Every structure is written in structure tokens, then in C-alpha cells.
């Protein structure tokens, strides 16, 4: 989003297989026949990701790996549980799924797109509409083909492909909860604050319940500040929350083939981590911190992305008050971001039980972020070069256990000269390398 999966195909679930009665408008709007698929099937996500043409829902066949299954459920021993059922999530499965998502993050470097997945499912909320699910929000509707094809959701099919195996493994978690769990976990694992989340969101059950296109923000509207307020005030958010949430752009990259914004690649993204390419807002774009605000304020690097809606944060007087604060006070940013993220994740949601489900995150484990290697055009010595330097160092009397005597002035000068020559050589070497942090 400018601040910015599927399962077996089903027809609309009958009231006897769900725990929530559908609103009359939603029921009457469903005209699909029992054989018409209503979900993007997992097996067809790859074709959707690679195809730019519009297709009807009949394109997507049933997925044999995700047929409806019977599971014990609260108050019923014969409830049919399917990926589209509207029911509360299981706390034990939520905790286990969170651990699986952590593994996914550490192996796929997919923090940014999972944050976006949760945001875009919740960000359709309209506070002026009382009825659920017409009001939009965090209800799992993004898994359906009509909403997945909204322009603002370009590329999110890849997030759904990543998260679907977790959904298959933990069938007693709603999609709405899974999207928000993945989003919050991605922030936390990237070094961000712990988000005070609750779960138990009920899923919508048919594509007819998807919100209309146009509820998410644009990246380059004519009046960026006014546009941000129009979109986020509709959700019930204020200026502080708009700016704090914007800080999540410390993660990720913009790809011109998806959003129309950014460069195809920069010195920070041309070699990953993950899939190379795109333009990032920050240098270390898989680390959650306040770099986004500092980099926009300093405007020091043309390889870092600044969208019109980003620049507005330091141009609009009210926004600027918060942006300046967050640029200089990372603790204040973390506090306000955690509160705003939790609020966003609950927008429009219908909880079962009504008070929600809280899962224990366990004891704090210190720094959660696993440093990744970034492409910054800096040179790192190869193992062979390190061995050569060590050999030169030992040849003039030094070793790890025996430093050079301080009175060997000439030897020190020689060692420095050797290092200067080596680094001069490396500086003229045009080959790409990586440096961590």
C-alpha cells in the first residue's frame, strides 16, 4: 500500500457449516452455482501470478489437497471445517503457526510482503458502514480473486503462495487471523516492537463479500497529505497513526512492474537478499527501525525511494511534527507504531469470542532480527585474501597471539603499506560483493 491464499475452491458455504450467519445482503448477492469456484485455488496461484490477463473465477479448479475436512469444534463434533469457514481460531494453533512463520521469514526474507498482506486486508475498513462484512476490514476477504486483482494488491498473490502451506497445516486458524499474525510477526522478527495483538477474527465466506476497489491509498495523488487523511480518517485513524504506520516503509522495496513506482534495481537491492531488484526506502530494508524518517529528512541518497506520500510527511505541518519526532526518537516511534499497527489489525473485524484471543509470546529473546547480506557496493575481503594478509602480518613478526612489538616502527609502516595496496586493488575491482551489518 502507498503507506503501502487460497484454498480449495468452494461455493458459498451454507449456514449449517458456519458459525456465523451471513448478512442478508451478502447471501442474496451470491449467484454462483454449487460448482462455481469462489476461491483462488492454491494450485492456480502460480498461474495467476504469472498471468496479467483478467480471468473469471471458473478458471480456477478445485484443489485436491484442500478438500473440506471434519474437525472437532467447540460445541459441535460434526462441524464441517473448510478454509472458508467463519469461526474463531485455535490459540494453540496460533502459537505454533507463529513459529512456522518465523522460519518462513528467516528463509525467504519475506517480511515486507507479509506486512503488506495484513495491512491490505485490514485497510479496506470504512467506519461509516456499521454492517459486517460490508464495512470491510480484517476479515480475510483478500484471499478471494476479485479483491486479489485490485490494482493496489498487485504482487500480493506471492504473499498468499507463501502463507498457504501454513494455513493448510493449521486449518483451525481463520485467514483473517493468519494474515494479521504474519504481518505482526514480520515486524517483530525484523527487530521492530512487539505488537499487542489479539485474535479470533471471523472470515468472510464468499467473493461477493469483498469490498469494492478504491479503498486503499495511492502513492502519488495530486494532494498527498489530503489523500492520506481522506483514506485513513475513513478508517478512524488520526495524523499520529498515519505517520507512525508510514514508518513501516523502513521495510521493503517498491517494484515498478507492480506499483509503477521506483527503479528496477539499485545498489542496495540488485543482489537481494531474497529476489533481487526494486527500490527500497532504506539501506537495510529488512531491519525495522526509524531509518525511514531519518533518510527522508536528510535526502542524502538518490537510490532511496521517496514517494509523494512519503515527502508529505515532512511538508504538511501536522505530519511533520510527528515525522521529526520519530526521526530523532526511535523509542517513541516503536511505541506509537505498535499501538497503531494493533489498531489497524482490528479494524472492521468480527471476533469470536467477542473479547478476542490473546496468545503468550513467551519470554523476550533479545535481538530477533537475523542480519542479512545487502548489496551496498562495499567490498568484503575473500577468505583467500584474508589468509594472504595474515601471512604478510605473521611474516613481519605479528600473530593473533603475539601482537607486533611497539618498537618495530618500520614493520608497522610496511604492514600499513601492504593493506593500502590491497584496498586500492579492491577499490578498482568492479565485481559485486556483499556486506552484512
Report the pLDDT value the prediction gives residue 418, as an integer from 0 to 100. 72
Cα–Cα dist 332/326, whole Å: 6
CA torsion, points 35, 41, 44, 45, in degrees to nearest 10?
150
Helix, strand, coil percentages (3-state) for the chain, rounded to 5, are 45, 5, 50
Q: Which secondary structure element, helix H or strand E, spans residue 26, and what is its range? A: helix 24-28
Grid coordinates belonging to 429:
575491482
10, 120, 249, 341: the active-site residue: 120
Residue 184 carries which DSSP code?
Answer: H
Give Cβ neighbours of residue 325 (< 8 Å, ≥ 6 apart): 332, 333
Q: Taking the alpha carbons of 371, 372, 378, 382 in that order, is the dihedral positive or negative?
A: positive
Has 120 been annotated as catalytic? yes
CB atoms within 10 A of CB 149: 17
Report the pLDDT value the prediction gives residue 267, as an integer from 0 to 100. 93
The tens-digit pLDDT sequence of the chain (437 residues) is 555 533 333 332 333 333 333 333 333 333 333 333 345 544 455 445 444 333 333 222 233 333 233 333 333 333 333 444 444 699 999 999 999 999 999 999 999 999 999 999 999 999 999 999 999 999 999 999 999 999 999 999 999 999 999 999 999 999 999 999 999 999 999 999 999 999 999 999 999 999 999 999 988 889 999 999 999 999 999 999 999 999 999 999 998 887 788 999 999 999 878 788 999 999 999 999 999 999 999 887 999 999 999 999 999 999 999 999 999 999 999 999 999 999 999 999 999 999 999 998 766 555 555 544 554 444 445 566 666 666 766 766 666 555 555 555 666 777 777 777 766 655 554 433 222 22
DSSP for 279-298, written as a single string = EESSSSTTS-SSHHHHHHHH
Preceding omega of 64 cis (within 30 degrees of 0): no
98 near 88, Cβ under 8 Å? no
Give Cβ neighbours of residue 43 (< 8 Å, ≥ 6 apart): 61, 63, 65
Grid coordinates belonging to 306:
521517496
Cα–Cα dist 181/199, whole Å: 8
Report the pLDDT value the prediction gives residue 374, as an integer from 0 to 100. 52
Cα–Cα dist 215/223, whole Å: 17
Q: How many helices (H) and strands (E) does the chain have?
A: 16, 4
Report the pLDDT value the prediction gives residue 71, as an integer from 0 to 100. 35
Give Cβ neighbours of residue 333 (< 8 Å, ≥ 6 apart): 244, 247, 290, 293, 325, 326
Domains, the chain: 91-209 (1.10.520.10), 224-339 (1.10.420.10)
Report the pLDDT value the prediction gives residue 360, as an integer from 0 to 100. 83
Helix (H, G, I), strand (E, B) or coil at 20: coil
124 near 216, Cβ under 8 Å? yes
Report the pLDDT value the prediction gives residue 320, as an integer from 0 to 100. 98
63 near 41, Cβ under 8 Å? yes
Amino acid at each position: 500500500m502507498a503507506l503501502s491464499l487460497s484454498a480449495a475452491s468452494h461455493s458459498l458455504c451454507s449456514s449449517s457449516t458456519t458459525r456465523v450467519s451471513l448478512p442478508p445482503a451478502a447471501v442474496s448477492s451470491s449467484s454462483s452455482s454449487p460448482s462455481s469456484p469462489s476461491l483462488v485455488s492454491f494450485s492456480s496461484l502460480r498461474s495467476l501470478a504469472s498471468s496479467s490477463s483478467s480471468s473469471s473465477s471458473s478458471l480456477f479448479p478445485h484443489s485436491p489437497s484442500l478438500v473440506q475436512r471434519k474437525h472437532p469444534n467447540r460445541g459441535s463434533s460434526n462441524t464441517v471445517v473448510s478454509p472458508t469457514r467463519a469461526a474463531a481460531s485455535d490459540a494453540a494453533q496460533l502459537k505454533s503457526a507463529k513459529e512456522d512463520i518465523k522460519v518462513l521469514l528467516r528463509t525467504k526474507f519475506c517480511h515486507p510482503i507479509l506486512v503488506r498482506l495484513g495491512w491490505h486486508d485490514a485497510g479496506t475498513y470504512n467506519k461509516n458502514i456499521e454492517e459486517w462484512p460490508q464495512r470491510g476490514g480484517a476479515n480475510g476477504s483478500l484471499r478471494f480473486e476479485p479483491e486479489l486483482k485490485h490494482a493496489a494488491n498487485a504482487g500480493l498473490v506471492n504473499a498468499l503462495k507463501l502463507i498457504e502451506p501454513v494455513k493448510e497445516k493449521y486449518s483451525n486458524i481463520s485467514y483473517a487471523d493468519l494474515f494479521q499474525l504474519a504481518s505482526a510477526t514480520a515486524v517483530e522478527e525484523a527487530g521492530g516492537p512487539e505488537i499487542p495483538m489479539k485474535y479470533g477474527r471471523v472470515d468472510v465466506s464468499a467473493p461477493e463479500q469483498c469490498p469494492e476497489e478504491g479503498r486503499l491509498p495511492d502513492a502519488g495523488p495530486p494532494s498527498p497529505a489530503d489523500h492520506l487523511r481522506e483514506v485513513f480518517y475513513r478508517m478512524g485513524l488520526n495524523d499520529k497513526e498515519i505517520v507512525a504506520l508510514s514508518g513501516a516503509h523502513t521495510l521493503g522495496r517498491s517494484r515498478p512492474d507492480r506499483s509503477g513506482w521506483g527503479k528496477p534495481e539499485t545498489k542496495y537491492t540488485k543482489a537481494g537478499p531474497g529476489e533481487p531488484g526494486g527500490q527500497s526506502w532504506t539501506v537495510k530494508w529488512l531491519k525495522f527501525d526509524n531509518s525511514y524518517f531519518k533518510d527522508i529528512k536528510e535526502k542524502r541518497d538518490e537510490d532511496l525511494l521517496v514517494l509523494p506520500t512519503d515527502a508529505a510527511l515532512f511538508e504538511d505541518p501536522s505530519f511533520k511534527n510527528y515525522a521529526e519526532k520519530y526521526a530523532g526518537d526511535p523509542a517513541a516511534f516503536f511505541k506509537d507504531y505498535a499501538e497503531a499497527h494493533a489498531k489497524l489489525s482490528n479494524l472492521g473485524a468480527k471476533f469470536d469470542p467477542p473479547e478476542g484471543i490473546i496468545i503468550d509470546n513467551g519470554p523476550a529473546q533479545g535481538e530477533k532480527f537475523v542480519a542479512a547480506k545487502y548489496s551496498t557496493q562495499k567490498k568484503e575481503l575473500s577468505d583467500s585474501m584474508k589468509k594472504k594478509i595474515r601471512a604478510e602480518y605473521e611474516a613481519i613478526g605479528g600473530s593473533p597471539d603475539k601482537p607486533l612489538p611497539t618498537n618495530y616502527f618500520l614493520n608497522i609502516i610496511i604492514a600499513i603499506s601492504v593493506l593500502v595496496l590491497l584496498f586500492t586493488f579492491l577499490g578498482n575491482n568492479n565485481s559485486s560483493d556483499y556486506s552484512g551489518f
